[in-house]
Structure 1
């Protein structure tokens, strides 16, 4: 009798977590939902992941028919692409992002400052140092970016270059990928005050999820239009 390992439960949730429940697994899937990526591209989008861990996750996904290798461009080797079965995870990831918004932006105003590594989207040597202020319903959050580090603190920013007002219901749809900042402004669901040239575009790139930008778009290089997750 074969030994499966993992949870060893006759339960579809448990079996699913055996395949995609380890650290980095769902983040890799989220990156590949946007387009096929070469191994090196994936590593650059996942700061902190070990080469052995990435290789292990990709092999597991191939074994379970979530990912396949496809030819890259001339001289580029192979890329990893989601299969239809892998893409079936997209609705589940959208719902999970919606659920997790209240962890990313807690509704508890006494929450502590949290720092995030944005090196997948921001070039540290671009020298970016500025603040944004988000008002979501009755709560406020100060977001400060220094180099490629973003800190989020409940409360007001000191000198925000972007001040944004919206609702948590809009934010739920935003993290699901059902809307965008610019669409929210057009539909008058998002109100924004901007100081300085390109501050709005910089904020979108600095706070977008991995893969939301067009390929190659980073702060420190000319930004492209945002893509829906």
Structure 2
């Protein structure tokens, strides 16, 4: 592989950007925070990226120790990419970027793509301090979050797969308002814009917040 481009600056910020500063890299990390993903799944959930660029970024991420590639056992027998510990450690970086970017989110444009699970990181920020498995039901689809997860995937597509600690049902406008920092989750629950189902302590806390 060609040598990695570098800012050649003895600065931790510059070193970090040497590794994750290329276009698409952090968005690939966002997708892999859901756990192992096939190349075709990544390409489908990164609208606008070319196959050549995606393949190049994944190779760079392998080289830099952010991701690994492995083959699933039969009957799957497909290759998947997943984050290493160093790659997973970028979660708070993405959370901070998301918070910083809230002011520039604005209204959704006519050409803006959206996937239900892209709301996972904003909702994880809204659930900061909580721990538990949360299923989220949106107009665009269903996904689940692992609030307070220390290791492993922090979200995933589809239902939780086991009894969640809480189920949140809300429309896209409400979720967007939460993502833009305009509506605290607790205010959305109190206003009836977010329905909370479940019998566990987490669901009770969210209803009573």
CA contact (8 A) 2:116 2:140 kept: no
CA contact (8 A) 2:33 2:154 kept: no
Q: Distance in 2 between matches of 1:92 and 1:213?
A: 16
Structure 2 vs 1, CA of residues 174 and 39 (structure 1 numbering), >3 Å: closer, same or farther?
closer
Give matches, 1:147-158, under 5 Å. none
Give the aligned partner of residue 8 of structure 2.
8
Give the aligned partner of residue 178 of structure 1.
125
Give the TM-score of the pair, scaled to structure 2: 0.56
Give the aligned partner of residue 22 of structure 2.
22
Say whether residues 1:117 and 2:113 are aligned partners: yes
Q: Distance in 1 between matches of 2:33 and 2:86?
A: 12
More helix by share: 2
Q: Distance in 1 between matches of 2:89 and 2:58?
A: 17
Give the aligned partner of residue 77 of structure 1.
78
User: Displacement of 1:12 after TM fit?
Assistant: 1.4
Q: Distance in 1 between matches of 2:70 and 2:158?
A: 20
SS at match of 2:125: coil
Give matches, 1:1-229, under 5 Å. 5-74=5-74, 75-105=76-106, 114-115=109-110, 116-118=112-114, 120=115, 175=122, 177-179=124-126, 201-203=137-139, 205=141, 214-215=156-157
Q: Please, what is the CA RMSD of the aligned residues?
A: 3.6
User: Displacement of 1:6 after TM fit?
Assistant: 3.0
User: Displacement of 1:82 after TM fit?
Assistant: 0.4
User: Displacement of 1:72 after TM fit?
Assistant: 2.1
Structure 2 vs 1, CA of residues 11 and 121 (structure 1 numbering), >3 Å: closer, same or farther?
same
User: Displacement of 1:23 after TM fit?
Assistant: 1.0
SS at match of 1:93: helix
| Structure 1 gap ranges (5+) | 106-111, 123-170, 184-199, 218-224
Q: Distance in 1 between matches of 2:46 and 2:83?
A: 17
Give the TM-score of the pair, scaled to structure 1: 0.51
**Residues 155-185 of structure 1: per-residue CA shift (max 9 Å, x gap):** xxxxxxxxxxxxxxxx9x97261336xx9xx
| Structure 2 gap ranges (5+) | 131-135, 145-152, 160-166, 169-178, 180-209
SS at match of 1:178: helix
Rg larger in 1 or in 2? 1
**Residues 67-119 of structure 1: per-residue CA shift (max 9 Å, x gap):** 011232523321101000111111111111111111113xxxxxx8733123x
